[in-house]
């Protein structure tokens, strides 16, 4: 066979081989692209699983640290409750005897002033002991009708030493129907809020106690004309042991919010730096007292 005939005979074969090679190359490119896409998906899944694993490990470590802190706090709480109970008995005797001493010293201004300082210190200690006991106690609130006016009077009596020492005026606007709560829990709440407000006005000012209501709730607002609270601190002040005062324990507001929450209520704060603060206690309204209001003070 001539050479030209052999060359003509192999041309279709070469064309077929080239087409086959081109098709195979295209398939390989498609498979490679699919493989790269699959690798990308697997890599993304792996990164997500690694992220979740790291988050889980971090969360587990945080939970372990939290459990350790709670265990320590529980131990501290048990110790604080034991100490508070031990301190309360002699403290009560000191309060009684100091009251008698104040009566005996009425005609002696200088000794009377010193005795009043002692009485003020005893009142502060008694307030601290009460907060410690409330903080460590498991709350089981009653649901009874609460006379807010009478409880406010109690709170003002407990704050009389600060009110007199700081020269603070008091305004009361309490015309509301009864609320539903536990007076034994609400009493330390109002005492804490009143004393905090008075402590915020060491150079004098006005303490306002005003109550409002709607169809479902009763609200009592304790307002001071003190320096106010910075926005960054308005939630922090409710954390246990957080305080901005040199002699504070950081328990008063933490105890107050816990007790109000236990009574199915809310404790909220509004404040403006330089213009004072308002702490508002919101409690359920007594449904049987619709249309009935009593004025206290």
- DSSP tag of 40: H
Q: Which pLDDT does position 133 carry in this prediction?
A: 67
Selected residue with higher pLDDT from 11 and 261:
261
**pTM exceeds 0.95 for this model:** no
**Per-residue pLDDT at 120 exceeds 80:** no
**237/250 Cα distance (integer angstroms):** 7
Six token digits for residue 34: 């699919």
Residue for token pair 């709440």:
189
- Which residue in 138, 126, 127 sits closest to 88, CA to CA? 126
Q: Which CATH number fits domain 141-295: 3.40.710.10, 3.40.50.2000, 3.40.30.10, 3.30.565.10?
A: 3.30.565.10
Q: Which pLDDT does position 36 carry in this prediction?
A: 87
CB 181 within 8 A of CB 289: no
Band of the pLDDT at 291, cuts 50, 70, 90?
A: very low
**Per-residue pLDDT at 138 exceeds 70:** no
Q: What percent of the chain has pLDDT over 70?
A: 81
Band of the pLDDT at 28, cuts 50, 70, 90?
A: confident
Return the bridge partners of 285, or none.
179
Q: Which pLDDT does position 91 carry in this prediction?
A: 79
- Concatenated DSSP letters of 268-289: EEEEETTTEEEEEEEEEB-GGG
**Range of lowest pLDDT (74-83, 94-103, 186-195, 281-290):** 74-83
Q: Which pLDDT does position 81 carry in this prediction?
A: 67
Residue for token pair 């007199």:
164
**166/169 Cα distance (integer angstroms):** 9
3-state secondary structure of 209: strand
Q: Which pLDDT does position 292 carry in this prediction?
A: 40
Q: Which pLDDT does position 209 carry in this prediction?
A: 95
Q: Indicate the domain borders of the chain.
A: 1-137, 141-295
The order of strands in the sheet holding 276-284 is 168-173, 205-213, 217-224, 276-284, 266-272
Q: Which pLDDT does position 208 carry in this prediction?
A: 95
Mean pLDDT over 43-52 rounds to: 88
Please list the alpha-helical segments (H only) found in the chain.
3-104, 109-136, 148-158, 160-166, 183-199, 252-262
Report the chain's mean pLDDT, rounded to a whole number: 81
**Per-residue pLDDT at 9 exceeds 60:** no
Q: Which pLDDT does position 222 carry in this prediction?
A: 95
Q: Which pLDDT does position 114 carry in this prediction?
A: 85
Six token digits for residue 139: 């709350």
Six token digits for residue 228: 């106010």
Residue for token pair 């909220």:
268
Over residues 89-103, the pLDDT tens digits come to 787 788 888 888 888
**Per-residue pLDDT at 161 exceeds 50:** yes
Over residues 205-236, the pLDDT tens digits come to 999 999 998 889 999 999 999 999 988 888 88
Over residues 171-185, the pLDDT tens digits come to 998 887 888 988 888
Distance between alpha carbon 243 and the CA centroid of its chain, in Å? 13
Over residues 234-284, the pLDDT tens digits come to 888 888 776 766 566 667 788 888 889 888 899 999 998 989 999 999 999
**11/15 Cα distance (integer angstroms):** 6
Selected residue with higher pLDDT from 51 and 242:
51
Residue for token pair 């009361």:
172
Band of the pLDDT at 296, cuts 50, 70, 90?
A: very low
**Per-residue pLDDT at 8 exceeds 60:** no
**Per-residue pLDDT at 66 exceeds 80:** no
CB 249 within 8 A of CB 243: yes
Six token digits for residue 246: 């040199």
């Amino acid at each position: 066979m001539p050479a030209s005939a052999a060359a003509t005979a192999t041309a279709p074969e070469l064309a077929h081989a080239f087409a086959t090679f081109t098709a195979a190359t295209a398939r390989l490119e498609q498979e490679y692209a699919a493989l790269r896409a699959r690798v990308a998906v697997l890599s993304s899944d792996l990164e997500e699983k690694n992220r979740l694993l790291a988050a889980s490990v971090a969360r587990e470590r945080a939970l372990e640290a939290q459990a350790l802190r709670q265990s320590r706090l529980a131990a501290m709480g048990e110790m604080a409750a034991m100490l508070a109970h031990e301190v309360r008995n002699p403290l009560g005797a000191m309060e009684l005897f100091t009251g008698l001493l104040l009566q005996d010293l009425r005609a002696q201004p200088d000794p009377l002033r010193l005795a009043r300082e002692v009485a003020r210190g005893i009142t502060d200690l008694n307030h601290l002991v009460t907060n410690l006991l409330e903080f460590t106690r498991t709350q089981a609130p009653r649901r009874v009708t609460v006379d807010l006016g009478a409880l406010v009077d109690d709170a003002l009596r407990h704050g009389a030493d600060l009110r007199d020492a700081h020269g603070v005026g008091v305004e009361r606007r309490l015309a509301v129907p009864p609320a539903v709560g536990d007076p034994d829990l609400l009493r330390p709440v109002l005492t804490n809020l009143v004393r905090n407000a008075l402590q915020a006005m060491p150079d004098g000012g006005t303490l306002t106690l005003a109550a409002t209501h709607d169809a479902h709730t009763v609200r009592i607002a304790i307002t001071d004309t003190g320096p106010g609270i910075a926005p960054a601190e308005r939630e922090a002040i409710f954390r246990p042991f957080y305080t901005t005062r040199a002699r504070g324990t950081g328990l008063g507001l933490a105890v107050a919010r816990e007790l109000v929450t236990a009574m199915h209520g809310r404790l909220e704060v509004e404040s403006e730096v330089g213009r004072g603060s308002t702490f508002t206690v919101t409690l359920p309204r007594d449904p049987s007292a619709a249309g009935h209001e009593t004025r206290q003070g």
